[in-house]
Amino acid sequence: MTDLPADALLVVTHPLVRHKLTRLRDRATSTADFRRLVRELSLLLGYEATRGLKLEPVTIETPLETMEGEQLSGKKLCFVSILRAGNGILDGMLDLVPSARVGHIGLFRDPKTLEAVEYYMKLPDDVAERQCIVVDPMLATGHSAVAAIDRLKHVGCGPIVFVCLLAAPEGVACLSAAHPDVRIITGALDRGLDDHGYIRPGLGDAGDRLFGTK
């Protein structure tokens, strides 16, 4: 992988993230536990993804006196889930920011070319006025992430952050080459991809493990 700007990739090494990722990777982890762990990890990663949100002053009354506090400034966030597996992270993100708007982009990976094929997109009408956080459990080849962000930029979105549980060096390089302005936040940077485009050591197919389809 080519060298990236210092702020282009953040691997969150918090002990809770490392612990929960280990349990998530374990093939013996049940579907119910897998869903719960993804939701918990998305909260921890979402904390980092929202660190740069702008604030504005606000005057409030505590039970004891008047004070000046701070609140989020401007339009609410938009979380964009890459279907279907992105919805596992989306749930936890909405726990963190329940007032956020939500968009969905449906993509599947062609098994022969490994390229992303779009089959669905639904975004808020004013998405271009909002900061977007794109969520997908895996950044493998990077093709799905690039395709989704291409679509968002086409309708005027920016700035954009990409959040995933695991990333491969190939995916990071692909996304950063196509969209160097998009920051990547992940729980781990794994060894690489196998011949089928799966992350190794990885955690298997995140969608199948989330929804019990295999």
136 labeled binding residue:
yes
In angstroms, the CA 79 to CA 87 distance is: 10
pLDDT at 76: 81
Clarify whether 2 is annotated catalytic. Answer: no
pTM summary value:
0.90
**Number of neighbouring beta carbons within 10 Å of residue 208:** 14
How deeply is 133 buried, as exposed, middle or buried, from its count of CB atoms within 10 A (0-12, 13-18, 19+)?
buried
Q: Which of 25, 36, 39, 109 is catalytic?
A: 109
Angle at 119 between CA 113 and CA 124, to 5 degrees: 130
pLDDT at 196: 85
Question: What is the tens place of the pLDDT at every residue in 23-65?
Answer: 999 999 999 999 999 999 999 999 999 988 889 999 999 999 9
142 labeled binding residue:
yes
Distance of CA 51 to the CA centre of its chain: 14
Nearest residue to 42 via CA among 187, 171, 204, 199: 187
Clarify whether 23 is annotated catalytic. Answer: no
In angstroms, the CA 156 to CA 165 distance is: 26
Q: Does residue 122 have a pLDDT over 90? A: yes
Question: What is the tens place of the pLDDT at every residue in 62-85?
Answer: 999 999 999 988 778 999 999 888
Residue 58 near residue 68, CB atoms below 8 Å: yes
18 labeled binding residue:
no
pLDDT at 56: 94
Clarify whether 109 is annotated catalytic. Answer: yes
206 labeled binding residue:
yes
173 labeled binding residue:
no
**Quick one: residue 141, left, alpha or beta (phi over 0 = left, psi -120 to 50 = alpha)?**
alpha
Nearest residue to 184 via CA among 44, 49, 33: 49
Q: Does residue 1 have a pLDDT over 60? A: no
* Average pLDDT value over all residues in the chain: 91
Q: Does residue 113 have a pLDDT over 80? A: no
pLDDT at 3: 58
In angstroms, the CA 10 to CA 57 distance is: 29
Q: Which of 26, 31, 33, 113 is catalytic?
A: 113
In angstroms, the CA 81 to CA 145 distance is: 10
| Pair of tokens at residue 128 | 């271009």
pLDDT top residue among 117 and 22: 22
Clarify whether 26 is annotated catalytic. Answer: no
Domains of the chain: 9-52+75-202 (3.40.50.2020)
DSSP 62: -
pLDDT, mean of residues 141-154: 93
In angstroms, the CA 152 to CA 144 distance is: 12
